[in-house]
Amino acid sequence: MPDAYETFLEDLRRRKGLDLTGYKRPQMERRINSLMRSLKIANYHDYLDLMEKEIQHWRKFVDTLTINVSEFYRNPTQWNVLETKILPGLIENSHSLKIWSAGCSTGEEPYTLAMVIMNHFPNVYFSLFASDVDDEVLNKAKAGVYGDKAVANLPKSYVTKYFTQEGNNVTVSDEVKRKVKFGKHNLLREGFDFNYDLILCRNVVIYFTEESKAELYRKFYAALKLGGVLFTGSTEQIFQAREIGYSLVASFFYKKGE
């Protein structure tokens, strides 16, 4: 018999279309119970009813569980490796790149990548798809408006060239926005497109179960073209990389075997 938490997950999937079964139970359960305590709600059924009635509680739930934390040029050392080693290697084989930012949150990562390519490789054509499971963060990403602290790690030349300042906010230029196509996608439930040169999935899978991670990395492998590269987060080593077929070309960069 499923317990109360498992029943809640099934009801959540059926009623709201959000599937959390691939996420680690202890972390998810702890966050959900904390939210319920803050609202003085005693059971999962009442909490789900409240989320259906009042959109702000649903948004708070999704924000808390999907950990929408992002920033421009996050982990600058890794972006430097991407600029100086990974992208030149990919461009050697092709003058057009097909790229996917998987789990893009509010858009800082794909916009950073678009600016890097536009700045360093202006003659390279690229298509860049950025996806997330959360409609709310996708809307923020499309708007492209951020607090000025969000660009603290970016080279100053990028801020000058690709943003406009409005009070304490900065807005991504239309030139950069046009380079990124945003769309809703559930990594654990939906199929993937193929023939990607580069996939970024950073700081997304740390709350997934080991089984879900393994399946996801295999699906990314299948989605890459031969010689394509997967760029992961700084806490997300792929321990079974060689078994899947990846070779490590730099820390957190995994290449599909040629």
Domain ranges of the chain: 4-66, 76-256
Whether domain 4-66 has CATH 3.30.420.10: the reply is: no
Q: Are 116 and 200 in contact (CB under 8 A)?
A: no
> How confident is the model over 111-165, as pLDDT tens digits?
999 999 999 999 999 999 999 988 888 999 999 999 888 898 899 999 999 999 9
40: left (phi over 0), alpha (psi -120 to 50) or beta: left
Q: How are beta strands 125-132 and 224-232 bridged, if at all?
A: unpaired
User: Among residues of the chain, what percentage have pLDDT more than 90?
Assistant: 55
pLDDT at residue number 21: 75
Structure-block tokens of residue 113: 């990548």
The overall average pLDDT reported for the chain is 89
> How confident is the model over 64-113, as pLDDT tens digits?
776 555 678 888 889 999 999 999 999 997 879 999 999 998 999 999 99
Among the listed residues 132, 80, 85, the one whose alpha carbon sits nearest the alpha carbon of residue 110: 132
Q: Are 162 and 121 in contact (CB under 8 A)?
A: no
- The pTM assigned to this predicted structure is 0.79
Q: Which CATH superfamily is domain 76-256 in?
A: Vaccinia Virus protein VP39 (3.40.50.150)
pLDDT at residue number 244: 94
pLDDT at residue number 113: 97
Q: Which residues of 87-107 are buried (b: 16+ CB within 10 A; e: fewer)?
A: beebbeeeeebbbbbbbbbbb
pLDDT at residue number 17: 66
> How confident is the model over 162-221, as pLDDT tens digits?
999 988 899 999 999 999 999 999 898 899 999 999 999 997 887 677 888 899 999 999
pLDDT at residue number 181: 98
Q: Which residue has the tokens 């360093």?
A: 120
